[in-house]
Structure 1
Amino acid sequence: MTTFKASDFHPTNPAALIAALPAVLGFVPEHSLVLVTFEDDELGCVMRVDLTGELDDSLAHLVDVAATNGPDAVVAVIVDEDGAACRMCLDEHRLLADVLAQYLDDRCVELLAAYVVDRLADGGQWHRVDGEPGAGAVEDPMSSPMAAAAVLEGRRLYARRAELQAVVAVDPVRAEGLRTTMLLAEHDGELRPDVDARRDVEHALAVARGLSEGMVPEDDDLAAVGCAIADTRVRDTLYALAVGREADRAETLWALLARTLPDPWRVEALVLLAFSAYARGDGPLAGVSLEAALRSDGGHRMAVMLDQALQSGMRPDQIRELAQTGYRLAKRLGVRLPPRQGVGKRAG
């Protein structure tokens, strides 16, 4: 993941920070409050919430999350198409900035600056709303250094958050059609021998490879993989694929399963997708996947853990270490997984 310093986004030159937000978030935010934290002179976590009437009730919690890792400072960007040109709206945004500054001060964090911007696009206009003078034009977000870095890292940039959410949006007709097949393929709940778990992992690998070669999986294959990842040995082994040389293949399969499996099986595909996206530095895709997973099962342990890590700004390299468990399980099951990226010897 590319590292940027606070000096790259100094409040006296906010054009770079505002232009970078779509690349950081993975989509162009609209009608949003975005908080950007800085830790040890480096860009920390970036959080976005909808700019709604309920924001006042959740603002304290948002600040708590932003302050989790003890950042030195925060910059706030309010995206409001109407608010940038409306004097009454600007007054409301100034009040929001004042409240935000107080919440941050209570947690010993400085609000460096607060801006309101009408649109995050070339030619958009920004204004400071934290008592300091300042206004200017937004640079083209698609031409920002952060956007270039995102493309080099293999991350796609979406025009709107809805487009990102569509990556994991379930097809209700397809999912309902798979339900009967899933019920027939479902395991009886008893602990199965390791040989069955090994066969399931190998089948998931085969389906992912076939999908990458243009072979559309049959419903029976999707159902078999969907039921298999309900087995903790299979699921925890498959987490290792996120750091292996076939990570892209596996992620494509998890995304397909997230769109086609019915609940409750879908949640495991969503968490596998979230882990894979997080491990390669795609926080936006990880975020929408976890959001969908937690709507299905708010107590899912891995989903909760990943969501907390993402919100606190834990870096992908720390998350990637969790994949070691998958390689250990693969060795125990006798499965030969693709080697880790950058490693020449196969695990197991």
Structure 2
Amino acid sequence: MTNNHEAHAPSGRPSTSPPGSADVPPITLRSPAELADALPYMLGFHPTDSLVMVAVHGEGGRFGGRLRVGIPATSEEWEDTARQVADCLVSGSRRRGVKPDGIVVFLCQDPRGDESGQRVMTRLRPLAQRIRLACGALDVPVLEALCLSAGRYWSYCCPDERCCPAEGSVLAAPGASVMAAAATFAGLQVRGSLREIERRLTPLRGPAAEEMERALDRTATALVPKILDGATREEVGAETVRLARALMQRMTLALPAETGPAADDWDDALLGDDEAASLILGLQDREIRDIAAEWMEDEEAGPALRLWRALARRCVGAYGEHAAAPLTLAGWVSWSTGDEPTARIALGLALRADDEYRFAQLLHHACNEGIDPEGLRQCLREERRRREPRRGRLSAAVRRDVTRPPGRRNRTSRRQSGRTAGSEQ
């Protein structure tokens, strides 16, 4: 089997992603071990608690569309899930004009409690069998089905213990295989695990979340009547845009020293609770959100993505649905800047927060169908030029408004001083 350049996976809901670019030299995979090793490179991240299916085409076994969905928590859901994912992948491939000649299935789940990896494999075997039957009913055979757990893999299709022993086979160490070298040469990246990527976009917990929810309550009491009043709605929108640009500039001037969760802590410290609450509520207005979507490239993309991630983490408690807006914006910036795996995860989380959020629905579908984001970028550029005759970088007014970065202040120090970052400007 061969794998081409791009492989994608949405989060939380069954969906397909298109085959990769034909311009990248193929990588040949000849065994279950190589398939297991290739999975993170096909998706762009290490899947956790995931059912992954990959379409296979032609005599050479070229990989096509991919699908990822969380493994249902109860076995009662397995029958319906198997039918849905099989139909989703096969119908998605047919829409692109090529019915799969076969499918490769991966079941990835860490052990729970004292459970062993082998026990996970045994527990998930009925799910693997249901998927094989569902694909067979669509006249598409499952060529291989693998379980990945506790650093090992098992084949549900190979009965030969010489290559697929009962205790499983050890997965190659990350970056230590021929597949890893070939993937690196082909430009494939692994952006951590699904769990790690989702953690950067999920709400805060504990005392910080309680404090944030109180800020949201206060701000909602003050802002919602103004948003609903046509006479003051435009004023709230203008203030939301001004504040968002100011915070982007603050983040530009205060770059984190590290990446990942440490960088998120840094950004959280730069953003006051009342500021975050004002932005979260302001972004519920579609017109304001569309203006924010224009910050998707060049020097604006980085600070915008940091801001949207930080706001998504502040949508706590009763305000969980409000996360759909910043999560969708985070997904859009990720997609616009070429990080499609993260885009799908963010958009999937947006739809988990509000499954009727239309902008997330449209972006999720377009990203899964392999549509070039340049068309939407061009539309947003034109709209910005129409609205801002002197389009450019952050305005001089905003630059004057933000005289210095507030530094890395924790919430305790803000409470002690009685001031938010916004009151220091």
Fold-level similarity (TM above 0.5): yes
Q: 1:9 to 1:278 in 2, by over 3 A?
A: farther
Structure 1 CA distance, aligned partners of 2:282 and 2:34? 46
SS of residue in 2 equivalent to 1:33: strand
Consecutive unaligned residues of structure 1, counting only runs of 5 or more, are 340-348
1:107-146 paired onto structure 2 within 5 Å: 107-119=138-150, 121=151, 124=152, 126-131=153-158, 133=160, 134-135=163-164, 136-143=169-176, 144-145=180-181
Contact 1:97–1:130 (CA under 8 A) maintained in structure 2? no
Question: For 1:320 and 1:150, how far apart are their aligned partners in 2?
Answer: 23
1:323 aligns with 377
Deviation at 1:176, TM superposition (A): 0.6
SS at match of 1:286: helix
1:29 aligns with 47
Contact 1:244–1:338 (8 Å) recurs in 2: no
Aligned counterpart for 1:69 among listed residues 81, 89, 93? 93
In structure 2, give the amino acid aligned to 1:177: R
Equivalent of residue 167 in structure 1, options 190, 200, 216: 200
For residues 210 and 146 of structure 1, do their structure 2 counterparts lie closer, same or farther at Cα, with a shift above 3 Å needed?
Answer: farther
Q: Give per-residue Cα distances to partners, 1:279-336, cap 9 Å, x unaligned.
A: 33444533443344334322111122333445xx323x62443233322221232172
Q: CA separation of 1:252/1:331 partners in 2, compared to 1, >3 Å: closer, same or farther?
A: same
Could you tell me which of 64, 82, 86 is aligned with 1:59? 82
Name the CA distance, whole Å, in 2 between partners of 1:300 and 1:131: 44
Instruction: Summarize the alignment of residues 186-225 of structure 1 with structure 2, pairs less than 5 Å apart.
Output: 186=224, 187-191=226-230, 197=237, 200-214=240-254, 216-225=270-279
3-state secondary structure, aligned to 1:76: strand
DSSP-derived class of the 2:296 partner: helix
Distance 1:150 1:288 in 2: 23
Per the TM alignment, residue 27 of structure 1 is displaced from its structure 2 partner at its CA by: 4.6
SS state of the match for residue 181, structure 1?
Answer: helix
For 1:199 and 1:88, the matched residues in 2 are separated by 54
Query: Aligned-pair distance for 1:269?
Result: 1.0
Verify: 1:8 aligned to 2:27, yes or no. yes
Query: 2:282–2:288: 8 Å Cα contact kept in structure 1?
Result: yes
1:241 and 1:337 in contact (8 A); partners too? no
d(CA) in 2 for partners of 1:328 and 1:39? 40
1:236 matched residue in structure 2: 290
The reply on whether 1:49 has 2:70 as its aligned counterpart is: yes
> Which residue is equivalent to 2:399?
none
Aligned-residue Cα RMSD (Å) equals 3.7
SS of 2:227's equivalent in the other structure is coil
CA distance in 1, matches of 2:120, 2:46: 24
CA contact (8 A) 1:83 1:89 kept: no
8 Å contact kept, 1:83–1:116? no
Map of 1:344 onto structure 2: none
Structure 1's 84 and 261: CA in aligned 2 closer, same or farther, altered over 3 A?
Answer: closer
Q: Which letter does structure 2 place at the counterpart of 1:112?
A: L
> In the superposition, relative to structure 1, how do residues 289 and 88 fare at CA in structure 2: closer, same or farther (>3 Å)?
closer
Which residue of 2 is the match for residue 274 of structure 1? 331
- The structure with more radius of gyration: 2
Q: Which amino acid aligns with 1:127?
A: W
> For 1:64, what is the secondary structure of its paired residue?
helix
Say if 1:331 and 1:141 are closer, same or farther in 2 by CA, change over 3 A.
Answer: same
* Residue 127 of structure 1, CA deviation: 3.3
Question: Which amino acid letter does the alignment assign opposite residue 188 of structure 1?
Answer: I
Q: How many residues align?
A: 326
1:36 is aligned with what amino acid?
V
Taking structure 1 as the reference length, what is the TM-score of the superposition? Answer: 0.76
CA distances 1:207-257 after superposition (whole Å, capped 9, x unpaired): 112123228233443334323322322211222322343211100000011
1:148-163 superposed matches below 5 A? 148=184, 156-158=191-193, 161-163=194-196
Distance 2:195 2:155 in 1: 28
